[in-house]
Amino acid sequence: MVSIKDIAQRAGVSISTVSYALNGSSKVTEETAARIIKIAEELNYVPHAAARSLKKRQSNIIGIFLTDFSGNFYGDLLQGVKEGLQGKGYDLIVCSGLQSHRMIPERMIDGAIILDETFADEELLQYANQGHKLVVLDRELIHPNINQVLLDNKAGASLAMDYLLEQGHDKIYVVSGPKGSYDVKQRMHAVEQVVDRSPHLEYIEISGDFTKASGEAAAKQIVDEYTRPVAVFCLNDEMAIGIYNYISNHTSLLIGDHVHLIGFDNIEIAQYVQPRLATIDYSNRKWGALASEQLLKLITGKSVDHERMYVTLVRGASVN
Amino acid sequence: MVSIKDIAQRAGVSISTVSYALNGSSKVTEETAARIIKIAEELNYVPHAAARSLKKRQSNIIGIFLTDFSGNFYGDLLQGVKEGLQGKGYDLIVCSGLQSHRMIPERMIDGAIILDETFADEELLQYANQGHKLVVLDRELIHPNINQVLLDNKAGASLAMDYLLEQGHDKIYVVSGPKGSYDVKQRMHAVEQVVDRSPHLEYIEISGDFTKASGEAAAKQIVDEYTRPVAVFCLNDEMAIGIYNYISNHTSLLIGDHVHLIGFDNIEIAQYVQPRLATIDYSNRKWGALASEQLLKLITGKSVDHERMYVTLVRGASVN
DNA sequence: GAAGTGAATCGAAACGTTTCTATTAGACAA
DNA sequence: TTGTCTAATAGAAACGTTTCGATTCACTTC
């Protein structure tokens, strides 16, 4: 592999001159610079990322961490992050899995966006204490090196509950999500608030884990207990899809008729199932863009403000 | 940041001893090793990835390159790759965009899986010539440092065409994909073969680019020309979904009735649209696993064989 | 014409590792 | 006692950069 040293030799200059020339420093004459750059191109020179980041103490890479790659969730978010980083001199890498946590302390990346339950709060705080810059999307964490862009979960859950209430229900099944999840806590909290202020309303919590399979399990329970039309609020769309699957494969009940169903996230499938799934919408793309924007501010030492992602109700024939 | 040097100082040994101890070399006494490791833990030591990979000339990271993050395509593939790498000492990063190509020549990764049209063949061959190990999923490329795991596109396209033929069609619209794409060429080639051997069959090519939008545009053309029930083969499901969108929003025609439609890829949405989209199926997860397996073989110098991904027909009410 | 100035270039140290070679100190044999 | 061997440890070079400080040399300036 050709290094700066080879170029120096061929050009008859010192390696420092080559480095300056290649980095566009004004310390070197235009003509020598041009000559050096030409030689570099001829030799097909490419800088060695590890060497450079060892010396410069930065890699110009930022990482986004996801719990897993499957699911219909991430495409637009990643696209948003990528766009937010466009032209800022940073490259994006996507990581998943416990193994990959090491990228942060091993200083392979200059900053991280976290949407990954497999990180513990303490772990993240430790990284932040070591000077790493983080943006968290799935928890609340106060630290000078951490910023957060959170969904307005409470507003979303309230919207969903109110929509079901409009239909005159007095009993609502709520299919929850992973226990530790911040989003779940927030959403459940809002559910309870709605119930508290509605005299004749009760809710039944069915525990889920945000997967389709757990949606199917929930559906089974709901169907087994079925006596009259019911309302169901799934804390995410993925589980709602599971409910569609179960209901249509194992029963003759109809969604939107016997089972009034609303989800959360507005994943793409939501608009293709019959009847259309009512849900809570927000722009994943914007979320990603906001996150990367905040992270760049953190890295460059600019002041940051805690942004919030607003949500809206998407009505659908799965309710009413 | 604490380095090996700090540990050495604190333990009263040389840095080489620390390095040996931390790497589990048998050159150092068990007790000193234990002592050093304890200190390292106390100090919260983490190796500096860049320094290590500069010296060792490898990063223990492999990268997968995708054209873009959006689309309903990649989840399972990535999951498969990740699983294939499990416990092999390599971490996975996902990259997208022209910018990120640099990861390869800058030696940030030890190998790459390519499913990304933004790489030119020559570019990849150049990398291979420089000793980089690659597995390509979207083209045919012969080189000792390149392996390929390709879809059986021809079989898939033939299956799709034959399925439509079974319904008695004598005219088939084929919505194609990006011009340069290997998969598209293969599929179109198979289409032509089927047409050649079927006396009374003609096909009309509509150019597409694998996006939903281009599916909608194709649908418009098909609808404008509509006189009697037609058959449509979309070279991927994404465009087929575009056709669903257009037909249901702008016409009173019915898919499966007036328009017999089949796609390719069996994306998740295909099973939720009404009527179910007929398509060509293969396991993305397996594809990814195979790819990573081949890449590891390439990296460790084992002999490789060119694997192939087989496909099957998924019947659906969108045809017939 | 000597001293000073500034631009261009060079040399060397440093970043944090790994690993080759050298040193040290016991253990053992003669 | 002396020498040899071995196990443990230390020292130093190297990986490919960047960057600080030093050097050179052609010009001014007085």
- B263 in a domain, yes or no? yes
Asked if residue B147 lies in contact with residue B125, where contact means CB atoms within 8 angstroms, the answer is no
Give the integer Cα–Cα distance in Å for A52 and B54: 9
Give the integer Cα–Cα distance in Å for A187 and A181: 10
What was the pLDDT predicted at A72? 67
- B315 in a domain, yes or no? no
Same structural domain for residues B211 and B298? no
Same structural domain for residues A66 and A106? yes
B98 touches chain A (CB under 8 A): no
Same structural domain for residues B43 and B107? no
What was the pLDDT predicted at A70? 77
Instruction: Name chain A contacts of B49, Cβ cutoff 8 Å.
Output: 50, 102-103, 106-108
Q: What is the pTM of this model?
A: 0.94
Peptide bond into A275 cis (omega under 30): yes
Tokens matching residue B115: 């499913």
Determine the residue type at B120: A
A20 touches strand D (CB under 7 A): yes
Helices (runs of H) and strands (runs of E) counted in chain A: 11, 12
Q: Which of residues 165-184 of A touch strand D (CB under 7 A)?
A: none
What was the pLDDT predicted at A68? 87
Residue of B nearest to A61 (CA): B100
Same structural domain for residues A160 and A274? yes
> In this structure, what DSSP letter does residue A268 have?
G
In which domain, by residue range, is B224 found? 153-281
Same structural domain for residues B145 and B162? no
Q: Tens of pLDDT along B2-57?
A: 999 999 999 999 999 999 999 999 999 999 999 999 999 999 999 999 999 999 99
Same structural domain for residues A262 and A143? no
| SS3 assignment, position B81 | helix
- Mutant choice from B2, B53, B67 vs A, greatest count of A C-beta within 10 A: B53
Same structural domain for residues B160 and B270? yes
Instruction: Name chain A contacts of B130, Cβ cutoff 8 Å.
Output: 1
Q: Tens of pLDDT along A37-61?
A: 999 999 999 999 999 999 999 999 9
Same structural domain for residues B75 and B173? no
The DSSP bridge pattern shows strands A279-281 and A312-314 to be antiparallel
Q: pLDDT grade, residue A75 (50/70/90)?
A: confident
Of B44, B49, B72, the CB nearest to A72: B72
In the predicted structure, residue A319 carries a pLDDT above the cut 80: yes
DSSP, residue by residue, A85-108: HTTTT-EEEEEESGGGGGGTTTT-
Instruction: Name chain B contacts of A108, Cβ cutoff 8 Å.
Output: 49-50
Give the integer Cα–Cα distance in Å for B31 and B16: 16
Same structural domain for residues B167 and B269? yes
Same structural domain for residues B88 and B141? yes
Q: Tens of pLDDT along A25-36?
A: 999 999 999 999
Q: How far is CA B268 from the centre of its chain?
A: 16
Q: What is the CATH classification number for the domain harbouring A27?
A: 1.10.260.40
Flag if A70 and B76 touch (Cβ within 8 Å).
yes
Helices (H), chain A: 4-11, 15-22, 30-42, 49-56, 75-85, 121-129, 153-166, 182-197, 212-224, 237-250, 284-299
Nearest to A273 by CA among A287, A293, A298, A256: A256
- Conformational region of residue B239, where left means phi above 0, alpha means psi within -120 to 50, and beta covers everything else: alpha
Same structural domain for residues B43 and B158? no
| SS3 assignment, position B171 | strand
> In this structure, what DSSP letter does residue B199 have?
T
- For residue A287, give Cα distances in angstroms to A70, A308, B210: 19, 9, 26
A–B interface: beta-carbon pairs under 8 A: 130
Determine the residue type at A164: L
Flag if A72 and B105 touch (Cβ within 8 Å).
no
Q: What is the CATH classification number for the domain harbouring B127?
A: 3.40.50.2300
Same structural domain for residues A106 and A179? no
Tokens matching residue B306: 């060119």
- How long is the CA A281 to C1' D20 vector, in angstroms? 55
**N-to-C CA span, chain A:** 67
- Give pLDDT < 50 ranges for chain B: none
Out of A175-184, A195-204, B63-72, B288-297, pick the least confident. Answer: B63-72
Give the integer Cα–Cα distance in Å for B207 and A98: 43
Instruction: Name chain B contacts of A99, Cβ cutoff 8 Å.
Output: 91
B17 touches chain A (CB under 8 A): no
Residue of A nearest to B83 (CA): A97
What was the pLDDT predicted at B72? 67
- A317 in a domain, yes or no? no
- How long is the CA A29 to C1' C9 vector, in angstroms? 10
Give the integer Cα–Cα distance in Å for B82 and A285: 25
